[in-house]
A and B are shown apart, each in its own frame.
Chain A
Amino acid sequence: MCHDARAASSCPETLRSRRHHIGAGLLALALATTIAPALGSAADRDERRGPPPGERRGPGEHGPAQALRDFASQPYPSTYRPLPRRDTLIFGATVLDGTGRRLDGADVLLRDGLVVAVGAGLTAPDGTVRIDGKGRWVTPGIIDPHTHLGNFPTPYTGEDAHHSDVNEDSDPNTAQVWAQHSINVQDPGFARALAGGVTTLQVMPGSTNLFGGRTIVLRNVPARTVQGMTFPDAPFGLKMACGENVVHAYGDAGRFPVSRMGAVAGQREAWIAARKYLREWQRYADGDERRPPEQDLKLDTLAGVLTGAIRVHAHCYRADDIAQLFDMAHEFGFRITAIHHASEAYKVPDLFVKEDVCAAVWPDWWGYKREAYDGIRENAAYLEAAGACVAMHSDSNVTGQRLNVEAAKAAAAGRRAGIELPPERVIEWITRNPARMLGLESRIGTLEPGKLADVVLWSGDPFSVYSHVDQVYVDGALAFDRNDPTRQPTSDFELGQPSQETQP
């Protein structure tokens, strides 16, 4: 149904992307604790003649044991630096802190890029910028866990019908591609999202492939390079996809997979290959092999999932498809972090709770394709009521500017169904819960002391369509101010465009 470029802006079929990012610092710990299940059964371990990784200390046949290769290292590392900042006190505001608390007439103190205090009657040293928050609301910075900003940049043209940077749709398994290598930092959408309060984004490869590639987490702060936006030390993600898009992209062209069972088989075969690859690297690390295996970019990504270093973000709509993925994760010993789109998650909320997997959903998308046919507006609320982790996501450069309103719609549907959803809880759908999905809950997503000072100051209730984002702070720095044109970034692409000049 994506007839024109405009339709494509919120058309999942055309949104294809993936991202990858690395958490090298966490890896050593992750290896010790997660690689054992990844290597499969006890029989498997016997076969490779050694104890699980982390237990082996002595030399192997061909030399001393060494650390397993880091499949999630980042050879294109972040050069992000926070914008110039001043310590800031926002006072007298209604604060939704992201931990389920609402504080009226409260202050928020930002110092050295961190939240240092939230509460009434805070004092701040001289030199602190004071912002009057009376009548206004303060929330954590909004996190969009699923966007294609940068790798599906506007403007769209006829070329996008043939090729674009969001989907490497040349093979159903492109786990080797990294979204960060597609990103055009001059996508005008970044600044629009910032004006909507979005401080952190996960850019995804598209959904044409069973394995679309690695995702990347960005700070929504303008930079000249992707590296300049890359969220330091955020874990990589792997974009997977089940369902219709893969089968359409390949099956319609007479290629594998043609069916859902083919899609699942394609994924299982890839995990089998990855398991073997990981074993080979483990044997090398253990000193049982003299020479390292040949590096394989595709298998690197999958092995990184098996070791727990790379987080799985799976595009999956239907409840039965979702349940297959959950079992696949058990079969191969990896963890799924989140199911994206998850239109039918409301049919299996118990599975999401049991598997401890988050659902990233829209408030009201349905109908545009078959697997979205049963989408209902109560989806997020029903999941929340069941105790599952829920986040709003955009998959769109249009609604990605208004995740607050998206959350408001989903919450309103839930309230009408009798589920209690006060604003202090709903805000978690666009702050704390997506932070958890990205593995960044210890750094962003709430306004607790010690967290990075990502803060949005709203002109009013953030769940009203009439409210505006007045200010956005990222790492304590004022990145956007609605009333100060010098604090409103614009992309190079839009600079000097005659049709954007407002006439007197």
Chain B
Amino acid sequence: MSGRRRSLIAVVGAFALPLLGAGTSAAQTSPSFALVHAKLYTMDAVQPLEDATVVVRDGKVQAVGAGLAPPAGVRVIDVAGRTVTPGLMSAGTQLGLTEVGSLPDTRDYALAAGTLGAAFDVQYALNPNTTAVALAVGDGLTRALAHPEGSAVAPFMGQAALLRLAPGASPLERARVAMFVRVGSGAAAATGGSHGAPWILLRNALDEARRYKPGPGVSGPRDQLLGRLDAEALQPVVAGRMPLAIVADRESDLRQAIALHDDTKLPVLIYGGAEAWRVAPELASRRIPVVLDPTLNLPLAFDTMGARLDNAARLHRAGVPVAFSVSAFHRTYNAGNALRLGAGLAVANGLPWIEGLRAMTTAPATMFGLGDRYGKVRAGYEADLVVWDGDPLEPSSAALQVWVRGVEVALEDARHRDLARRYAPAALRGDVPPAYRH
């Protein structure tokens, strides 16, 4: 692996040396530094702060201001007017849970057999060495939700985990942050064949979980459907501490989700939400957030007949909190750039630009209880920062430097970049086989 540094970033100041190689070691230190001359999106304002300085100490933002003089003795990085944003967050990936999508041996996000339903919890499978993680960070992603795609007991998919994509032994920030449930045509077959069955089973599971009493020798009634593990896993849900993330697209299912929320008062998030724009006022009045795919505009299934590119714009106008997760394998394998493309597309179709950025920072942070420490460039917040070579919502732009909680990530240390260097046109001209180039 090579740890080349971007030559674009001028390093000045007395303490430049300790920074070289930062991020490559497992034992992280978090030296102080200051970015100067940034076009900074703090996420506290619509307009960027021009000529901004960001001072970072101990992994946190210490100070932010226009033209602020950096403290004496810290490394100063002149970003020369480039755009700086918080590190981005995807509200839905399988990062850390897959290496090669088609290979079951490397795929940890779904169960094909066994007994686990609601109890399936992805935290135990997280693997920070999956190569999609480095690619995502290189695209400016520093946080992500990693959620299960299916369990052995429909309609439950299992429990999601929050990741921070810093170098280190584990990307886990917090486990058990949401209970995923799939309804709609994707779940109908697994529950017997009707859009109605998943709802009946879900409501029943919540009832059984409420009645469940742990203890030796105690079991449920003979006709209880939930196993002990699943019943225990649902306790935080029925207590209102863990949101139900309901994967649903069709308007009728979205209305069922709203009804469930009204009946139970439990916190609900919508994933998918292709037709959410049709129930925007109802979602807004209950502050039910929607995590949607901004690229979806086709009836890929009968459930998404109403899919529109201005879904995000319409929901935002109605007051619904919106975050993004893109479809299919891009959600994980291109978790950063596909997310930015999606945000750009939402903006192209009516979402204000800053809302596109919020949907990748403060909005998902708030949904998952991180809003008090991640998602903004503000004193006291964790220093997730990205320097961009252009508009971050243009998928052809790239991240030049990325810090996660104040630690710079060595972006060149990524398998894809190694391959690109090995096969660069100039490198191919030699007589030595590529295998000898490292």
**A contact residues vs B (CB 8 Å cutoff):** 1-11, 13, 154-158, 188-189, 192, 244, 346-347, 349-350, 364-370, 373-374, 376-378, 382, 385-386, 397-398, 401-402, 405, 408-409, 411-412, 416-417, 419, 463-468, 493-494, 497, 499-500, 503
Contact = CB atoms under 8 A, between A and B. Distances in A.
B251 interface: yes
B113 interface: no
A192 B434 contact: no
B337 A364 contact: yes
Given A6-B327, A369-B102, A398-B327, A156 B305 contact: no
Contact of A369 (B100, B110, B420, B423): B100
A367 to B, nearest CB: 4
A409 B102 contact: no
Given A7-B329, A189-B298, A409-B337, A499 B395 contact: no
Contacts of A9: 298, 300, 327-328
A499 B298 contact: no
A74 to B, nearest CB: 30
Given A5-B185, A7-B328, A376 B419 contact: yes
Given A368-B101, A412-B396, A10 B185 contact: no
Given A2-B328, A154-B300, A367-B98, 17 more contacts: A3-B186, A4-B301, A6-B328, A11-B329, A155-B301, A155-B305, A366-B416, A368-B101, A374-B419, A378-B420, A398-B296, A398-B327, A464-B394, A465-B344, A494-B299, A497-B299, A499-B251
Interface in B417-438: 419-420, 423-425, 428, 434
A154 B298 contact: yes
A423 to B, nearest CB: 11
B132 A398 contact: no
B300 A347 contact: no
Given A10-B328, A465-B348, A405 B395 contact: yes
A155 B300 contact: yes
B278 to A, nearest CB: 7
A5 B301 contact: yes
Contacts of B330: 10
A369 B101 contact: yes
A6 B299 CA distance: 9
17 contacts: A1-B101, A5-B185, A6-B301, A7-B329, A8-B300, A13-B102, A155-B301, A158-B189, A192-B297, A244-B102, A367-B333, A377-B416, A377-B420, A398-B327, A405-B395, A494-B299, A500-B305
Nearest to A416: B398
Contacts of B301: 4-6, 154-157
A500 to B, nearest CB: 5
Nearest to A1: B101
Given A367-B329, A499-B251, A157 B395 contact: no
Interface of B: 98-103, 107, 110, 131-132, 149-150, 185-186, 189, 250-251, 272, 275, 278, 293, 295-302, 304-306, 327-330, 332-334, 337, 341, 344-345, 347-348, 393-398, 416, 419-420, 423-425, 428, 434
B420 A466 contact: no
Contact of A10 (B149, B297, B329, B345): B329
A370 B419 contact: no
Contacts of A494: 299, 305
A158 B101 contact: no
Contacts of A365: 329, 333
- Top 6 A-B residue pairs of the complex, sorted by shortest distance between their CB atoms: A412-B396, A465-B344, A499-B306, A1-B101, A369-B102, A367-B333
A3 B102 contact: no
A189 B149 CA distance: 27
A250 to B, nearest CB: 16
B398 A4 contact: no
Contacts of B398: 412, 416
Contacts of A346: 423
A6 B416 contact: no
Nearest to A494: B299
A368 B298 CA distance: 22
Contacts of A497: 299, 305-306
Give the most central of A5, A13, A494, A497: most B CB within 10 Å.
Answer: A5
A408 B398 CA distance: 12
A188 B299 contact: yes
Nearest to B299: A155
A220 B251 CA distance: 31
Nearest to B332: A367
Given A411-B396, A465-B393, A6 B100 contact: no
Nearest to B393: A465
Contacts of A364: 334, 337
Give the most central of B131, B189, B297, B393: most A CB within 10 Å.
Answer: B297
Contact of B150 (A3, A350, A465): A3
